[in-house]
Amino acid sequence: MLIQYGYTGYLSKVSNLSKSAEEWVAGGMPITKMMNMERRNGEDKPVIRKALVELDGKPFKYFEAHRDVWAVETAFTYPGAIQYYGPSEVCDLTTRTLALEQN
């Protein structure tokens, strides 16, 4: 829809992901808003800043607590196919990472 309304150079986004799906807000954001100037090969260049893993964040702490076991075991979660309609307990499941960040 962004292009349909003449918004080029925009990235689609969804806000309020920590809330229930009914409270999510879809929209757009200019790519330039995400850019910073960084020195690359002696010149200033516009780049999107890289995101590093937060080593003190809850998702990494969870990984850190389990990685020795996971190194020798098959242990994964398969939530199934994405559900776009149906009961909210099926359609509105929060990702594992987001759930760890919220708790």
Alpha-carbon distance of 77 to 44, in angstroms, equals 43
Q: Kindly report, residue by residue over 68-99, the tens digit of the pLDDT.
A: 999 999 888 777 777 778 887 777 777 888 88
For the chain, domain boundaries: 1-50, 52-103
pLDDT of 54: 92
pTM metric for this prediction: 0.57
pLDDT of residue 76: 81
